[in-house]
Structure 1
Amino acid sequence: MKEIQATELAQKIKNGGEKVNVIDVRENDEVAQGVIPGAKHIRLAEIPERLDEIDKNEHHYMVCRSGARSGRASEFLEANGYDVTNMAGGMLAWMKKQRNQNSNKKSNSIKGLLFIAFKNR
């Protein structure tokens, strides 16, 4: 099974050069807590009955909370001829990446303000 890190998937989405198909297999209440922009929500239990919604001619990135359920979905889809990659660490890794980015932005802003304050002394 192929895997991708949250940071790599985020970069692919940000770059916009290729179509990025993300399928979120979490439960409804989990999805309500946050999603990857543009992700299609198909609960893990619904994957077998909703195969017609997943294009076999395109690549898909699978995601869940921690990477375990999306890993099972990836294995199932691969066995049925789909081209898929599991996002390692799931939404936990995605949210951590988001928190780190926000923390770095705040840190850089503070450093910039301190530089200006000391420069003007």
Structure 2
Amino acid sequence: MSNMTIYTIIVLIILVVFAGWQLITLLRRNKVAKMIDEPAFQSGLHHAQVIDVREKKPFDEGHILGARNVPYSTMKAYYMQIRKDLPVYLYDQSTTLSTRAALLLAKHGYSEIYILKRGYQRWEGKTKKSE
């Protein structure tokens, strides 16, 4: 076998493992959280805890009006500040951190978890910038 063939096989194996991991994460997320579009997210804002899981700097630069910042990087230490008896609406720039946060919250007994489908980057509703 030539070196090129071996490299091709290695790259294909890496791609298959990566795709498998992404699929497993997607299936796990869909088990614990519901993806909702912007209109559904906006209609439930006033009856839920809206959590921005981005870091403080991007949050301060602009966030959904009424959202609270609990960065994913600190969520393991502060998730208990989020109430279990109210729906939890999560968002980040896309959905990567929200997915991780949903999995963490579900592991700790949270059951009503929703994720903004297209993330903050495509949000067209009301926003606020921190001072």
Out of 27, 45, 50, the position equivalent to 2:78 is 50
Out of 105, 116, 119, the position equivalent to 1:77 is 105
Give the length in aligned residue pairs. 93
Out of 104, 111, 121, the position equivalent to 1:92 is 121
User: What TM-score comes out, normalization by structure 1 length?
Assistant: 0.69
Compute the displacement of 1:27 (Å).
1.0
Q: Deviations over 1:21-79 (max 9, x none)?
A: 10000011211221111111000011110022111111100010111111110111112
Q: Deviations over 1:81-115 (max 9, x none)?
A: 11211111110121xx34xxxxxxxxxxxxxxxxx
Ranges of 4+ aligned residues in structure 1 off by more than 2 Å: none
Aligned CA-pair RMSD: 1.7
Question: 1:70 is matched by which residue type in structure 2?
Answer: S
User: What TM-score comes out, normalization by structure 2 length?
Assistant: 0.64
Question: 2:71 is matched by which residue type in structure 1?
Answer: R
1:10 matched residue in structure 2: 42
Compute the displacement of 1:4 (Å).
0.9
Compute the displacement of 1:8 (Å).
1.6
% identical equivalent positions: 26
Q: Which runs of 5+ in 2 are unaligned?
A: 1-32, 126-131
